[in-house]
Amino acid sequence: MSKLMIFYINYESSGARGKKVAFCLPGSLGSAKTDFSPQLASLGSKNLEVISWDPPGYGESRPPSRDFSGNFFVRDSQVAANFMKVVLNYNTYSLLGWSDGGITALQMALSYPERVEKLVVWGANAFIDEKDVKLYNNIRDINKWSERMRKPMENLYGMKYFKSKWEEWIDAMTLLSFRDGGYVLKGDLSTISCPTLIIHGKKDPMVGEYHAQYLHENIKGSQLYVMEDGKHNLHLKYVDEFNKLVSDFLHK
């Protein structure tokens, strides 16, 4: 017997509905507001609708609580594709994926190539290795985070839910690192055919540059843009540069 999964999905949008739409996918425990407010505020236009969601179990897309069992990236990609087609009635769109959202975006490009017009990912990886797991465990204790990094998540979730789900995420990522050689995608990156832009922050403490290089080398015809001063949240810190880069890519 198949299991029917029903989710309440919260989303935000800006710009005019028309020929072009960009669907923004947040990072781990992220939401439309926490992860894409600057893009929702200034990237949308009369020629581009910008949409972002709170993935199942994140932000205001609760209940149910977040489920990190199995390969949740594949599951998120399925829910996201159905959301865009069934709820918002979009057959084609571009994807902007950050961090975990970048992995989901890559999976959507693999699973639904006919729907993805263009792909932009940053702070994303296709595999999880020992260095990644070590890094995740180094930031397991949220009490050691700076207040600036911790406060938005505490405000969104409350300390108990945030702490619990953050630790569950680290445990889930560790488990994924032992499966299929740590490769978290279902499909071969070389089959991605849509125009792809990979952005990497040179000073990203969460995702090494070798991940961006791997994506660039394995996605045919992809472009790689490195922000010399960029960190993991480069789209939030360098809003104007990021938005122009993405806008130019989506409109050309």
Q: What are the per-10-residue average pLDDT scores of the chain (252 residues)?
A: 61 93 98 97 96 97 95 97 96 98 98 98 98 96 92 95 97 97 98 98 97 98 98 97 98 92
Query: Does residue 155 fall inside a structural domain?
Result: no
Set 76, 211, 222, 232: catalytic member: 232
CATH of the domain at 217: 3.40.50.1820
Domain holding 78, by residue range, is: 10-126+188-251
Set 99, 100, 132, 235: catalytic member: 99
Query: Does residue 65 fall inside a structural domain?
Result: yes
Give the pLDDT confidence score for residue 38 in this predicted structure. 97
Give the pLDDT confidence score for residue 3 in this predicted structure. 43
Set 77, 204, 211, 235: catalytic member: 204
Give the pLDDT confidence score for residue 4 in this predicted structure. 43
Query: Does residue 152 fall inside a structural domain?
Result: no
Give the pLDDT confidence score for residue 18 in this predicted structure. 81
Give the count of domains, the chain.
1
- Confirm whether 69 is a catalytic residue: no
Give the pLDDT confidence score for residue 6 in this predicted structure. 53
- Confirm whether 204 is a catalytic residue: yes
Query: Does residue 108 fall inside a structural domain?
Result: yes
Query: Does residue 5 fall inside a structural domain?
Result: no
- Confirm whether 240 is a catalytic residue: no
Query: Does residue 139 fall inside a structural domain?
Result: no
Give the pLDDT confidence score for residue 5 in this predicted structure. 52
Query: Does residue 143 fall inside a structural domain?
Result: no
Query: Does residue 181 fall inside a structural domain?
Result: no
Instruction: Give the pairing of strands 21-25 and 223-227.
Output: unpaired
Give the pLDDT confidence score for residue 112 in this predicted structure. 98
